[in-house]
Structure 1
Amino acid sequence: MPNPITAPFPATRMRRLKRSAALRGLAQENVLTVQDLIWPVFVMDGEDAQTPVPSMPGVARLTVDHVVEAAREAHDLGIPAICLFPYTDPKLKTQGCEEAWSRDNLSNRATRAIKAAVPDIAVMTDVALDPYNINGHDGIVRDGVIVNDESVEALVKMALAQAEAGADILGPSDMMDGRIGAMRTALEAAGHQDVAILSYAAKYASAFYGPFRDAVGASGALVGDKKTYQMNPANSDEALRLVGRDLAEGADMVMVKPGLPYLDICRRVKDQFGAPTYAYQVSGEYAMIMGAGAQGWINEEQVMMESLIAFKRAGCDGILTYFAPRVARLLRG
């Protein structure tokens, strides 16, 4: 760490560089740009329809045609990537999660449609079984236990189907052991060596995910909790072990999730590994800002921007945020 040398007052007056916007700009240490943003969107079946998510004001589930419009909007704003999360028909949810690797599931159809219409935008996908699992879990459940190795086999098939559909970035969010290595090996063998993996390497068993589960229809389906595979919020060193493991198995980028409550983890990960490091400003974080803003308790826009620069200050190279298009417009003036 640098050891700053500061002359005693009055030779040093820390307010000198705060005196004007120009001086503050020259001394600013971190900058948020449109290139830092990944926009998560929810896709549903149907045509020409949008369904608002009540717990996420301003966010809606979109049919594939509207997802394509969102991708065009993102591209026009300079947002480099869009991330897809499917709202799966409950009739397609099973114990074995077979819909997860169907060539024509919602996520894969949306990926192909986006890449056909907006080929230059990067499409990121979610690799986890919860949208397809009748039990609402990220892995396959046998006798009340989320089984690891069988889940990894299913996740590999899911990853291959997404790569075949044209996904640029796979986002394994399941937290099963060994899944990154298994996916990387399978992708290489299938000729998808250029598909990137952004691993949810440090994903905590958090209460901040509630609105997201509403958005993808997983809240009512979830049996029990996810504490046997997601991280204990009390742990920090474990996050470094998980990140190191995923990088060693072939992850190209790593993510910390949730975001603001875990900025210390972002900083430790970036300092320890120097790898491309991302954070997910999750649904609960978004909902709190929007809810407090709607009540007039905070300046919604200022808090939004302050929350995002915090990720940059903590060492993140990018942020998944539902605010992405709104922020992009502000940054473009």
Structure 2
Amino acid sequence: MFPTHRPRRLRANPQLRRMVRETIVTTSDLIYPLFAVPGEAIAQEVRSMPGVYQLSIDKIVEEAKEVYDLGIPAIILFGIPADKDTDATGAWHECGMVQKAATAVKEAVPDLIVIVDTCLCEYTSHGHCGYLQVGDLSGRVLNDPTLELLKKTAVSQAKAGADIIAPSGMMDGFVQAIRQGLDEAGFQDLPILSYAAKYASAYYGPFRDAADSAPQFGDRRTYQMDPGNAREALKEIELDIAEGADMLMVKPALAYMDIIWRVKEATNLPVAAYNVSGEYSMVKAAALNGWIDEEKVVMETMTSFKRAGADLILTYHAKDIARWLGA
């Protein structure tokens, strides 16, 4: 074989390496998360996520314009309400933060795709993703009553102008309930991006600072998946596909690239990977300390997500990536 076969021949210079590269990251792969808060002219940096901000609606619109100008096709909106209650009113009310942000962005940047996170934890006083049994401090959510809240939330978000509904609460039957609600309300053509394989991960810590969504007691392990399970992820995606999901998400991404691969092998639907807050913050902290080359590490990570099978990547690095790709 050697010296006839010399793989280094195709690594000889940058142009040749670029020509034969198997996996490429583009701005079209990216989705940028944004956090909407009440008020005006507010841009409050998240303590544990350098470069990420809680933004008032006017600032969300400015950010959306910048994102669009960078060539990023989509954002995903999360809302932090002024008041919370056990009915998650801020999630489904027509004046909810996500609803107002979605409407404002679509009016200002109509061609930008607005994805909305359809969950309840940011809006409940206890920080869990649905109704709880009275007096139960374990964090066990009542599944079927919560489906009605999710259905109301999705329809309200659709009416506000959302382009894609992204339910993230990991309730059994949530895709079917939301699909039914959307169809009944006349939104048959609105796609659902399901958080189909969402793990109970320690990587979410900084997000809970950003979204003010940490549970007040218990944890989310009765509805989010056990990190040790892979076959269960395939079961979850099969159920979501049967219930009408149009796209599937794996969350987190970095420690779950094997799951991304398995999901991609098991379906022809588009697969998204969420490069979550803890993954972002680790890179940022190391870069700020001068321990790593941020651009090289981020681009290598994004390439790895694509190589594992992700078609779309939700990432807080999105704007930086777009600038690096355009440089």
Structure 1 and Structure 2 fold alike (TM over 0.5): yes
Preserved contact between residue 200 and residue 256 of structure 1 (Cα < 8 Å)? yes
How many angstroms apart in 2 are the aligned matches of 1:102 and 1:119? 23
How many angstroms apart in 2 are the aligned matches of 1:43 and 1:70? 11
Of 172, 176, 201, the residue aligned with 2:196 is: 201
Aligned to 2:2: 9
Aligned to 1:22: 15
Number of residues of Structure 1 aligned to a counterpart in Structure 2: 323
Any idea what the Cα deviations from partners look like across 1:266-315, whole Å, max 9, x if unmatched?
A: 01111111210000000000000000111111111110111111111001
Report the 3-state secondary structure (helix = DSSP H, G, I; strand = E; otherwise coil) of the residue aligned with 2:239.
Answer: helix
How many angstroms apart in 2 are the aligned matches of 1:135 and 1:49? 26
Aligned to 1:129: 120
How many angstroms apart in 1 are the aligned matches of 2:208 and 2:141? 18
Any idea what the Cα deviations from partners look like across 1:166-206, whole Å, max 9, x if unmatched?
A: 10011100000001011111111111012111000000000
**In the superposition, relative to structure 1, how do residues 190 and 294 fare at CA in structure 2: closer, same or farther (>3 Å)?**
same
Any idea what the Cα deviations from partners look like across 1:107-165, whole Å, max 9, x if unmatched?
A: 10000000111000010111111011111011211132310000111000000000000
Aligned to 1:93: 84
Are positions 1:70 and 2:63 aligned together? Answer: yes
Of 207, 225, 228, the residue aligned with 1:234 is: 228
- Unpaired segments of 5 or more residues in structure 1? 1-7
Moved segments of 4+, more than 6 Å: none
TM-score by length of 1: 0.96
Preserved contact between residue 196 and residue 237 of structure 2 (Cα < 8 Å)? yes
Preserved contact between residue 88 and residue 216 of structure 1 (Cα < 8 Å)? no
Are positions 1:180 and 2:179 aligned together? Answer: no
Aligned to 2:292: 298
- Unpaired segments of 5 or more residues in structure 2? none
Report the 3-state secondary structure (helix = DSSP H, G, I; strand = E; otherwise coil) of the residue aligned with 1:308.
Answer: helix
Any idea what the Cα deviations from partners look like across 1:6-58, whole Å, max 9, x if unmatched?
A: xx111111111111111111211010000000000111111111101010001
Preserved contact between residue 187 and residue 193 of structure 1 (Cα < 8 Å)? yes
Preserved contact between residue 279 and residue 319 of structure 1 (Cα < 8 Å)? yes
How many angstroms apart in 1 are the aligned matches of 2:17 and 2:253? 26
Report the 3-state secondary structure (helix = DSSP H, G, I; strand = E; otherwise coil) of the residue aligned with 1:330.
Answer: helix
Write the letter of the residue equivalent to 2:284. Answer: M
Preserved contact between residue 261 and residue 309 of structure 2 (Cα < 8 Å)? yes
C-alpha RMSD over aligned residues = 0.9
Write the letter of the residue equivalent to 1:140. Answer: Y
TM-score by length of 2: 0.97
Preserved contact between residue 264 and residue 309 of structure 2 (Cα < 8 Å)? yes
